[in-house]
Amino acid sequence: MALRKILIHPDPRLKKTTDPIVSVDDNLRRLADDMLETMYDAPGIGLAAPQVAVMRRMIVLDCEKEEDANPNPMVLINPEVVWTSEERNVYEEGCLSIPEQYAEVERPAEVEVQWLALDGKTMRERFDGLWATCVQHEIDHLDGKLFIDYLKPLKRQMITRKMQKLKREMARS
Ligand code: K1U
Ligand code: ZN
């Protein structure tokens, strides 16, 4: 397993739609392991393949945040939201590609998602609470959408400028 570098916004790769995965092979299993390791190391509760510069439709999640909770890593290949609740939920979101910036985003409170598991099985599950917010945030990444795209243009611009400054500082050190 290896840590992968997480792309920081603004980066054109974070704005692109990703390609569906056609077969599960050892390369993909290695990528899933690396993404989980990278997510736990960050630390984060989710990660999408384009955030580590792989333009394919795979996400990982583990929203068990409590210290004494058992880990519950999930790997979702070609995930699709097949149902959303009428009820909506507001959550203060963050993003590993937009470090230290948080903002409230409103999304469906519950979603049903279908995906392919690493063993090739088709899965379908309903997510709620933080899991629902996180899985929608990660699927958005696969379509080149960031949580700041839900914000008013001025706030989005302010965050983007902060990230440009951060990237300049990171490049210097
Ligand atoms: O996609 C990402 O960049 C990961 C992101 C996922 C996410 C967070 C909050 C709402 C929706 C989606 C993160 O994990 S940011 C870090 C974070 O939220 C966190 C880190 C450690 C413990 C608990 C939360
Ligand atoms: Zn994110």
* Contact in structure between 79 and 111 (CB atoms under 8 Å): no
Task: Count the alpha carbons within 13 Å of 32 in the hemisphere toward its beta carbon.
Answer: 23
Catalytic: which of 93, 110, 138, 169?
Answer: 138
Question: In the prediction, which pLDDT does 1 show?
Answer: 84
- From ligand 1's centre to the CA of 100, what distance in Å? 10
Q: Is 72 helix (H, G, I), strand (E, B) or coil?
A: coil
| pLDDT tens-digit series, residues 84-140 | 999 999 999 999 999 999 999 999 999 999 999 999 999 999 999 999 999 999 999
**Nearest protein Cα to ligand 1, atom 21:** 44
| pLDDT tens-digit series, residues 57-84 | 999 999 997 878 899 999 999 999 999 9
Q: Is 74 helix (H, G, I), strand (E, B) or coil?
A: strand
- Atom index in ligand 1 nearest the CA of residue 94 equals 15
Residue from 74, 73, 28 nearest 54 by CA:
28
Does pTM top 0.85 for this prediction?
yes
| pLDDT tens-digit series, residues 123-133 | 999 999 999 99
* Contact in structure between 62 and 71 (CB atoms under 8 Å): yes
Amino acid at 121: K
- From ligand 2's centre to the CA of 49, what distance in Å? 10
pLDDT at 38 over 80: yes
* Contact in structure between 62 and 73 (CB atoms under 8 Å): yes
Ligand 1 pocket check for 136: Cβ under 6 Å:
no
Q: What is the DSSP letter of 2?
A: -
| 93 alpha carbon, closest ligand | 1
Ligand 1 pocket check for 62: Cβ under 6 Å:
no
Whether 80 is catalytic is no
Order of strands across the sheet with 58-61? 46-48, 58-61, 74-84, 111-116, 122-127
